[in-house]
A and B are shown apart, each in its own frame.
Chain A
Amino acid sequence: NAGVTQTPKFQVLKTGQSMTLQCAQDMNHEYMSWYRQDPGMGLRLIHYSVGAGITDQGEVPNGYNVSRSTTEDFPLRLLSAAPSQTSVYFCASSQDSRKRDATNEKLFFGSGTQLSVL
C-alpha cells in the first residue's frame, strides 16, 4: 500500500492562477480531509469528506473547492490563488468516519505540498 499520496510536492503560482492539489489513498478510507499548516498556527481544517459524493467545510474553506467523485481521490482546487494561500497543505484520511468507537482509528497523513503564491 502506498498510503496517502499527494502531488505535487512543491508548487509556485502567481496571484490569480488556478491549480489543483491532488490527493489519493489506496486504503479504502471513507474519510478524507485537507489541512493547511502555517507557522505558529498548527494545522487548520479546510474541507473534509465522509464518503464519495459528500463534502463539507472546515475552519478555513474560503478560496478552496473540493469534490469527492471516488473513494480514492480528494482533490483541492484553488480557483484564483492569493498570497495568503502560501502554506503547506496536508491531505489526511481515516478508515470509517461513522464509527463511534475511535479506539482503532487514526488519521493517515500525506507528506505535504509546499505552495508559494507570488
Chain B
Amino acid sequence: AQSVTQLGSHVSVSEGALVLLRCNYSSSVPPYLFWYVQYPNQGLQLLLKYTSAATLVKGINGFEAEFKKSETSFHLTKPSAHMSDAAEYFCAVSEMDSSYKLIFGSGTRLLVRP
C-alpha cells in the first residue's frame, strides 16, 4: 500500500532563509509525487508534481523538489522564504495507473518569521 510521511508538523524559518520540507514515500510501483499548498480557509493548490520525467521538478512561486528513488524522498525546497509562503504544505503520492487517486501526508505548517 502507498503511504507518505512528512517529517515535522511545523517548520519555522526566517524571511529570506532556505525552506526545506521533507517528504518520504512508500510505493510498490513507480509513483507520481505531488506537493500541494493550502492557504488559510482555502482548498489545496498544486505546487508541483513528479511524473517520471526530470527528477528535479520546478513549481510555482519559486519552489522545487527533487525525486530521489534511492532515498524514497521528494523534499520541497525554496532558496529564500517570503512571508506569503506561510501556509500548510501537503505531499501526496499516486500510482501511475491510477494517477487521480492521491494519498496525502499529514501536512507541514510553514511559519515565516519577519
Once the chains bind, are B42 and A107 in contact (CB under 8 Å)? no
Nearest B residue to A4 via CB reads B43
Once the chains bind, are B96 and A105 in contact (CB under 8 Å)? no
Question: Whole-angstrom distance between the alpha carbons of A112 and B104 in the complex?
Answer: 16
Once the chains bind, are A33 and B100 in contact (CB under 8 Å)? yes
What is the interface residue range for chain A against chain B?
Answer: 20 to 34
Determine whether A45 belongs to the interface, using a CB cutoff of 8 Å to chain B.
yes
Determine whether B14 belongs to the interface, using a CB cutoff of 8 Å to chain A.
no
Determine whether A62 belongs to the interface, using a CB cutoff of 8 Å to chain B.
no
Interfacial residues, chain B to chain A (CB-CB below 8 A): 4, 6, 9, 32, 36, 41-46, 49, 51, 53, 90, 94, 96-107
Determine whether A2 belongs to the interface, using a CB cutoff of 8 Å to chain B.
no
Once the chains bind, are A102 and B51 in contact (CB under 8 Å)? yes
Question: Whole-angstrom distance between the alpha carbons of A92 and B94 in the complex?
Answer: 15
Of B32, B45, B53, the contact of A109 (CB 8 Å cutoff): B45
Binds B, one of A14-22, A35-43, A71-79: A35-43
Once the chains bind, are A42 and B43 in contact (CB under 8 Å)? no
Distance of B104 from chain A, by nearest CB (Å): 4
Of A97, A100, A107, the contact of B102 (CB 8 Å cutoff): A107
Please, could you name 24 A-B residue pairs with CB atoms under 8 Å apart, sorted by A?
A: A40-B9, A42-B4, A42-B104, A43-B44, A43-B90, A45-B103, A48-B101, A50-B100, A90-B43, A92-B43, A97-B100, A99-B99, A100-B99, A102-B32, A102-B96, A105-B99, A106-B46, A107-B36, A107-B44, A107-B46, A110-B43, A111-B41, A111-B43, A112-B42
